[in-house]
Amino acid sequence: MSKQRLKRDTEIICICPTYDHPHRLGGGKCTGAEWCQSIREIDSYACQTCNFSSPDSTCDVVTGIEEVGEKCECVAEELRGRQLEEEFGYLPLNVNKYMNDKMESYYEEQEESN
């Protein structure tokens, strides 16, 4: 029986297609670009004050100029509160699919209550 390593408080799990399994954000070949892009699609507020945000509002991690890490505001924010993981699960997230699922769930609940 193989033993799985426990997730540390100082790491974020990523499910980008770099690996065929959940892995540490920024670990190995994972650049974190898809994770950061997912954050930008969900809520780009942290991106506005991020050290890796260019003057033209592009993310240096997404464009491949920088590597994701704790200096990146979205990563630091997630490590502090884990709010995104609680709400959305592991990222990157297909935002359109998530919103459609939420909408369908809402309408199903409305039909059941009537």
pLDDT in tens, 31-60: 999 998 888 888 777 777 788 888 778 888
DSSP code of 72? Answer: S
Instruction: Categorize the per-residue pLDDT at 18 as very low, low, confident or very high, splitting at 50, 70 and 90.
Output: very high
pLDDT at 8: 64
Domain spans of the chain, in order of start: 13-113
pLDDT at 93: 77
Calculate the alpha carbon distances from 2 to 5, 7, 24, 56 in Å: 10, 16, 19, 47
Q: Could you tell me which of 30, 26, 21, 28 has the C-alpha nearest to residue 11? A: 26
